Structure 1
Amino acid sequence: MLRISLKDQEKIIINGAIIRSAGKSTLMVENRCTILRGKDIMEPEEANTPTKRLYFACMMAYLDPENREQHQDSILDLYQPLMGIFQSGEPQVNLIEIGKALAISDFYKALTECRQLIDYEAEAMNRAAPADAD
């Protein structure tokens, strides 16, 4: 059993249904289902970097099983170039873990690893920004 506490107006997706809390709520999920909390939901316009586009494609594969094959094609198109960009260190470990998760269709695990990759990408962009300003 999974217990989920939601803040007022917080969104959650359960088996494709978008649910918004009207007031503070607690849900008890008693069986296996596809769940994504509001903070983990990415809108299409937010997918504006290579790692965010990968996250979005993985999220869609997780939430939209009817079109999963199409989403998996997008994932591969996005994943392969990142392997060439992140060739060492923690980002490469994240990409390897994403690949393992995708191989067994564990899209939620892939999302977890993608979030770490997004954080790394943001840090790298922040480090590069001052140098570009010179």
Structure 2
Amino acid sequence: MNISLRRGERIFVNGAVLRVDRKVCIELLNDVTFLLENHVMQEEEATTPLRRLYFVIQTMIISPNDCDAAVALCRETLVSLSGAAKDPRIVAGLGAAIRHIADERPFEALKAVRAMFQIEAELAASPQTEQRGAA
């Protein structure tokens, strides 16, 4: 896999934070877990249930050697959100995230949760949110 980074951009690889001082292309030759800087959510941005879940999963990826508490919190959050969700798109997305976490594929779970942000925003903006059951 090839990743292009701009000057000053960071990438999180297997828990290490790398910052490049010039434009560079990195070729990953083996299986690694990584996050690009533009996919990293700051804690203060975790303002909704799905964004908080994203932040927890992100923590598992960024700190793989110290993620036991994050894994437990992730599982609790997934169960809680799954029980509360009424919208079938959210239910399906959470189901996918649960499977990915069970398969130890947190990056895939992160993508599944990120894909639901727009749905969550639409449900929150809808006057019928209580009837339709937002995440």
- The TM-score with structure 2 as length reference comes to 0.84
1:19 aligns with 2:18: yes
Shift of 1:4: 0.3
Please give the root-mean-square deviation of Cα atoms over the aligned residues, in Å: 1.6
Query: 2:133 — aligned with what?
Result: none
Aligned residues: 127
Once residues 47 and 112 of structure 1 are traced to their aligned partners in structure 2, the CA distance between those partners, rounded to angstroms, is 15
Q: Is the 8 A contact 2:15 2:63 kept in 1?
A: yes
More RCO (CA 8 Å, sep 6+): 2
Shift of 1:111: 0.3
Query: 2:122 — aligned with what?
Result: 123
What is the CA deviation profile of residues 13-72 of structure 1, one whole-angstrom value per residue up to 9, with x for unaligned ones?
112221223232211111221211111111222212111110111111122222222111
Once residues 57 and 105 of structure 2 are traced to their aligned partners in structure 1, the CA distance between those partners, rounded to angstroms, is 10
Query: 1:42 — aligned with what?
Result: 41
Shift of 1:121: 1.1
1:3 aligns with 2:6: no
Percent identity over the alignment is 27
Equivalences for 1:1-134 in 2 at 5 Å?
Answer: 2-128=1-127
Q: Is the 8 A contact 2:12 2:36 kept in 1?
A: yes
Shift of 1:96: 0.5
| Long gaps (5+) in structure 2 | 128-135
| Long gaps (5+) in structure 1 | 129-134
Once residues 82 and 70 of structure 2 are traced to their aligned partners in structure 1, the CA distance between those partners, rounded to angstroms, is 18
Amino acid corresponding to residue 104 of structure 1 in structure 2: D
